[in-house]
Amino acid sequence: MTLTSTKRLGATYELQRGYRRMIYPAVIAVGIFAIVPLAGMFALAFSDYHLLRGTNWQFGFKNFARLLSDQRLMNSIYVMSILSFFGVATQVIIGTAVAVGLQKIVGRWRFGRILFLVPYAVPHVAVALIWLSLFTPTLSPINAFFDLFGITVPSFLTTQGGAMFAIVMADTWTNFPFAMLIILAALQGISPDLDEAAAIDGATRVKTFFFITLPLLMPALLMVTLFRFIDSLKHFPMIFVITKGGPGRSTQATNFYAYVQTFQNSNVAYGAAIAVTLFLMAALISFYVARLNQRVSQ
Amino acid sequence: MIDKSPEYRFKKALGVSMMLLLVAFAALPTLWALILSVRSPSAVFEPIWESPLALTLENFFNITRSDFPKALLNSFITAGSATVLAMIIGVPAGFALAKSRVSGKFIASWVLLLLRMAPPVGFVIPLFLLYVNAGLIDTYLGLIVAYMTLTLPLVVWSMWNSFAQVPDELIEAALMDDATLTQAFLLIVLPAARPGAVAAAILAFLVAWNDFFFSLIITRSSTTTAPVAVMNFISFDSVDWASIAVASIALTLPILPLMAIANRYIVQSLSGAVKG
């Protein structure tokens, strides 16, 4: 007995050293590849760096003060909020609907799952281009179809609302399968006995869904919503390809606006300040997600 | 409980038609891209029902004469390298985080999440300035390093989840038999977590393959990846829609089998419980 415990104690010390040796490369790599650029972003945000003019080495809160009175930033946050809200909401709703539908026929139709996964496999640039073609009146089969009945479909990309609608459609199309996957997994964890019990008590299917299934899905729904929401703060290819931020500057979401300031206006320091703002928002939300994750696992 | 009342039938029909609508929403844009890819260039702007036979495979041959195949190769090289490197560094780290009692695990999980969620524009600005000065713009190395910021946190995070599900007794038994930690990891634990490792590699490859932003900023013509090269089919005064459709299909095809393998693990790797 003493022998084994001594051995285990010795092993524990050795073990912890072994474990640390496995972690260090990742810590160093994350430090170089991720933390250094992030520190650089913060440093730039406080600087006066301009891509063409360089820097006078003056540091301060000037960029952040400017953020507060920037109308274009306010518009970008407005655009981002609209895109995030409608995009995430439709993805979660459609994802849930498909998951519930698939759950009912899952044994009979495995192929269905793959069919709904295809949009998730299409790279975002291709998604954006496909939807750009669908929203191009001279090309789109949708416009051609309605022309048969003498109905002229308006050109969506010429108004702010229409352009945002186009982005939300493309984003929804490619990302609802993500919601579907997570909801489907959650649905499969719910005991079918509950449905039966509710049916015996005389509850209709609709009532069963809203009062029994949906509350049980809440953790999964919350997870999907948070993940999708954080991702939607990073909107780039869709805007870049479908609207280029237009018409005018009306669909420049914050991430895109940071890109415009940095790489089109050469205003690196100010672009970094916008990125920092966006980063802090993501940090706050991800802290919440990490806490949530920890609580769920306990 | 066989219910054939009209009300039941109505509800059933409603459910089925809603599902069909969803199928249409999911499938029609893909079908449209497939049609576009085989349309004769002269008939692209005609509705398909007016000239249903104006089909051709010419578009597929045309694209092989463009820069796009080179860009596809670049995508494979950079996304593949970033995946392999992230696996080599990230898998042992995920194992150690799942099984050791080192402190600071909550901070580690937060940092990993944060890195996955941080806006890429934040990484790309300092990287761009660094690369301009270090001569790394338009190099494989520069792009692979940039992709590591995406792939490494993802691999560590999802392997952490996978290894947490391997029972501790398995490792203890191996250690009792005088195996070193490295042996236990390589010979016992890693094989047990192989499906999770395959999924992590696939997911890492997917994010790197999907990238548009990094490639747009830090590559030029010689190492540009396929998602950025597609944009070359859009010129100032015209858009080569047929080539865009072909290129979109070429971009998606390598992903489909990977997605079919990994879809079960996507859920696990994202929301799986991290044992704190």
Q: pLDDT (tens digit, 9 = 90+) per residue, B16-45?
A: 888 888 888 988 999 988 988 888 777 777
Would you call B32 and A141 a contact, using CB atoms and an 8 Å cutoff? yes
pLDDT, mean over chain B: 83
B107 touching chain A per CB within 8 A: no
Beta bridge partners of B39: B55
How near does any CA of chain A get to the CA of B58, in Å?
19
Who among B23, B89, B100 is closest to A16 (CB)?
A: B100
A73, A78, A80, A85 alpha-carbon torsion, rounded to 10°? 160
Work out the average pLDDT over B155-184: 82
* Structural domains for chain A: 72-297 (1.10.3720.10)
Please state the separation of Cα A85 from the chain's center in Å.
11
CB B36 within 8 A of CB A118: no
- Is the omega angle on the peptide bond into residue B126 within 30 degrees of 0, that is, cis? no
Q: Which residues contact A69 (CB under 8 A, 6 or more apart)?
A: none
CB B259 within 8 A of CB A120: yes
CB A187 within 8 A of CB A161: no
A230-275 per-position pLDDT tens digit? 888 888 888 999 888 878 888 899 889 999 988 888 888 888 999 9
Query: Of A279, A174, A182, which is closest to residue A222 (Cα–Cα)?
Result: A182
Q: Which of A8, A9, A12, A23 to mutate to test the interface with B (most CBs of B within 10 A)?
A: A23
CATH homologous superfamily of B62-271: MetI-like (1.10.3720.10)
DSSP state for residue B272 in the 8-state scheme:
P
B128-153 per-position pLDDT tens digit? 888 988 888 989 999 999 999 889 98
- Determine the Cα–Cα distance for residues B19 and B21; give it in Å rounded to an integer: 5
Would you call A237 and B212 a contact, using CB atoms and an 8 Å cutoff? yes
B102 touching chain A per CB within 8 A: yes
Can you count the helices (H) and strands (E) in chain A?
Answer: 14, 0
The whole-number pLDDT of residue B104 equals: 77
Contacts of B230 in chain A (CB under 8 A): 125-126, 129
CB A173 within 8 A of CB A95: no
Who among B148, B266, B273 is closest to A29 (CB)?
A: B148
The whole-number pLDDT of residue A157 equals: 83
Would you call A276 and B122 a contact, using CB atoms and an 8 Å cutoff? yes
Would you call B109 and A293 a contact, using CB atoms and an 8 Å cutoff? yes
CB A97 within 8 A of CB B18: yes
The DSSP annotation for A228-239 comes to HHHHHTT--HHI
Contacts of B129 in chain A (CB under 8 A): 40, 44, 49, 268
ipTM passes above 0.85: yes
The answer on pLDDT for B275 being more than 70 is: no
E strands, A69-142, in order: none
Would you call A131 and B33 a contact, using CB atoms and an 8 Å cutoff? no
Work out the average pLDDT over B221-229: 88
DSSP state for residue B165 in the 8-state scheme:
T
Contacts of A48 in chain B (CB under 8 A): none
- Determine the Cα–Cα distance for residues A29 and A26; give it in Å rounded to an integer: 5
User: Tokens 């990287």 correspond to what residue?
Assistant: B127
Mark which residues 4-63 of B lie under 8 Å from A by CB: 11, 15, 18-19, 22-23, 25-27, 29-30, 32-33, 36, 44-45, 47-48
CB A275 within 8 A of CB B122: yes
Please state the separation of Cα B180 from the chain's center in Å.
35
The answer on pLDDT for B116 being more than 50 is: yes
Q: Which residues contact B150 (CB under 8 A, 6 or more apart)?
A: B82, B116, B120, B204, B207, B208, B211
How near does any CA of chain A get to the CA of B167, in Å?
16
The whole-number pLDDT of residue B269 equals: 61
B169 touching chain A per CB within 8 A: no
Would you call B260 and A117 a contact, using CB atoms and an 8 Å cutoff? yes
The answer on pLDDT for B271 being more than 60 is: no
Contacts of A182 in chain B (CB under 8 A): 267, 270-271
CB A276 within 8 A of CB B122: yes
Q: Which residues contact B98 (CB under 8 A, 6 or more apart)?
A: B159, B160, B161, B162, B163, B164, B166, B275
| Local confidence band at B3 (pLDDT 50, 70, 90 cut-offs) | low
Would you call A29 and B89 a contact, using CB atoms and an 8 Å cutoff? yes
pLDDT tens for each residue of chain A, 298 residues long = 334 444 444 457 777 788 888 888 888 888 887 788 888 888 888 888 887 777 777 777 788 888 888 888 888 989 999 999 999 999 999 999 888 888 776 555 667 778 888 898 899 999 999 999 888 877 878 877 777 787 777 888 888 888 999 999 999 999 998 888 888 888 877 777 777 777 777 777 777 778 888 888 887 888 888 888 888 888 888 899 988 887 888 889 988 999 998 888 888 888 899 999 888 888 887 777 767 766 655 5
The whole-number pLDDT of residue A144 equals: 78
- φ/ψ region of A266 (left if φ > 0, alpha if ψ in -120 to 50, else beta) reads left
How near does any CA of chain B get to the CA of A127, in Å?
8
How near does any CA of chain A get to the CA of B156, in Å?
8
- Determine the Cα–Cα distance for residues A182 and A99; give it in Å rounded to an integer: 9
B232 touching chain A per CB within 8 A: no
The whole-number pLDDT of residue B272 equals: 47
- Determine the Cα–Cα distance for residues A294 and B276; give it in Å rounded to an integer: 6
Domain boundaries, chain B: 6-59, 62-271
How near does any CA of chain B get to the CA of A229, in Å?
10
Contacts of A26 in chain B (CB under 8 A): 89-90, 92-93, 152, 156
The whole-number pLDDT of residue A167 equals: 93
B273 touching chain A per CB within 8 A: yes
Would you call B93 and A297 a contact, using CB atoms and an 8 Å cutoff? no
B51-107 per-position pLDDT tens digit? 777 777 777 878 888 888 999 999 999 999 999 999 999 999 988 888 887 777 778
